[in-house]
Amino acid sequence: MLVLLAGGLSTVFSQSVQLKFHNAFVITAMVVCVYVSSGNSGVISFGHVSFVAIGAFAAGLFSMKAQQKGAVFNDLFPFIKDNHLGNLATLILAAALGGLYALVVGIALVRLNGLSAGIATFAVLGITRNVLRNWTKVGPGAKSIPGVEETTGLTQALMALILCIVVAYIYQRSAAGRRLRATREDAIAAQGVGIRIYRERLIAFTLSGAMAGFVGAVYVHFLGSVSTDQVYLDLTFLVLAMLVVGGVDSLWGATLGGLSISFINTLLSEGEKGLSLFRQKFTLPTSSSGIILAALMAIVLLTRPKGLANGREFGLRGFRRRDSI
């Protein structure tokens, strides 16, 4: 279906706009990452963009040529400064680092529930950004990482999204995924049948951290450069909003929310520059895209508080009405 969608888009929009839609696939992949942990466990995380950031920075720094790094980022630890990796290697490295970081964070934090969990993961995001921005031995400081190989075209963006959806689907149908979803339904009953909430949450958190690190790398290969502000508050809120607008409790909701909002977002911001659609030229007033997007999200939430998907889920035989384990 996604492939069809991509094909359809290319007939409707011009080349430059199509490029922007790759962005939508990457952002949607991030929504799916957050869904793996928050959607299945019911515990909100504001921290996942930290894992995206770790992945993006690791991939960005390692894909820069050594001599280039020496010139711009002289403070870096030598093993970062002197090494260079290709596209695939940076993706794998980013996934490993994201997973490892999520594991360490998760060991401490997955015991928390509700708002405490939300704020604690937010604190992780704050620390990650603060460190990347100010500790120039590991990060670029206030500068942005320039000249990252732009290997994320339509193919890599789409493959990354499909990979994330497939992993998320396999996980949620697995025994571990079903155990975690039971803890979301009723934590007390889950303990009553022998489910270890801490362990199940940690598995999902680590898995989704690895996925987020990977997507971070894909993202930086799309952007071509990255600064700490690009993987901080705005992205966090946007990804969470997409998840909730689509519907937190199903993978279909996460995918739908991610795709629909990021497509609209892309259209609107392109629209500000003037957009030709079916050979008509449209131009939106400058900086009106944020206003329209926010208003649209508010309207969806008011009219469908359970999200666009309303509990429906992907299934092998079409969509199931009910969200299940």
Specify the residue, 76 or 218, whose C-beta has the smaller distance to other proteins: 76
Q: Of 237, 282, 283, 319, which one interacts with other proteins (CB under 8 A)?
A: 237
> Smallest distance from the beta carbon of 86 to other proteins, in angstroms?
33
Q: Binding of other proteins at residue 127 (CB under 8 A)?
A: yes
Q: Binding of other proteins at residue 95 (CB under 8 A)?
A: no
Q: Binding of other proteins at residue 70 (CB under 8 A)?
A: no
Give residues with Cβ within 8 angstroms of 173, minimum separation 6.
Answer: none
Q: Binding of other proteins at residue 118 (CB under 8 A)?
A: yes
> Which residues 147-176 are close enough to bind other proteins by CB under 8 A?
175
Instruction: Extract the tokens encoding 38.
Output: 């928050």
Q: Binding of other proteins at residue 298 (CB under 8 A)?
A: yes
Q: Binding of other proteins at residue 316 (CB under 8 A)?
A: no
Q: Of 122, 146, 159, 277, which one interacts with other proteins (CB under 8 A)?
A: 122
Q: Binding of other proteins at residue 119 (CB under 8 A)?
A: yes
Q: How far is CA 234 from CA 50, 161, 311, 312, in A?
A: 12, 21, 26, 28
Q: Taking the CA of residue 241 as centre, how many other CA atoms within 13 Å lie in the half-sphere pointing to its CB?
A: 19
Q: Binding of other proteins at residue 287 (CB under 8 A)?
A: yes
Binding-residue total with other proteins (CB under 8 A): 66
> Which residues 172-191 are close enough to bind other proteins by CB under 8 A?
175, 178-179, 181-182, 185-186, 188-191
Q: Binding of other proteins at residue 54 (CB under 8 A)?
A: no
Quote the CA–CA distance of 23 and 56 in Å, as a whole number. 14
Q: Of 109, 223, 226, 267, which one interacts with other proteins (CB under 8 A)?
A: 109
Give residues with Cβ within 8 angstroms of 271, minimum separation 6.
Answer: 282, 283, 284, 289
Q: Of 113, 225, 230, 310, which one interacts with other proteins (CB under 8 A)?
A: 113
Specify the residue, 270 or 323, whose C-beta has the smaller distance to other proteins: 323
> Smallest distance from the beta carbon of 241 to other proteins, in angstroms?
5
Specify the residue, 216 or 246, whose C-beta has the smaller distance to other proteins: 246
Residues that bind other proteins (CB under 8 A): 44, 108-109, 111-116, 118-120, 122-124, 126-127, 129-131, 133-134, 175, 178-179, 181-182, 185-186, 188-197, 233, 237, 240-241, 244-245, 248, 285-288, 290-291, 293-295, 297-298, 301-302, 305-307, 322-325
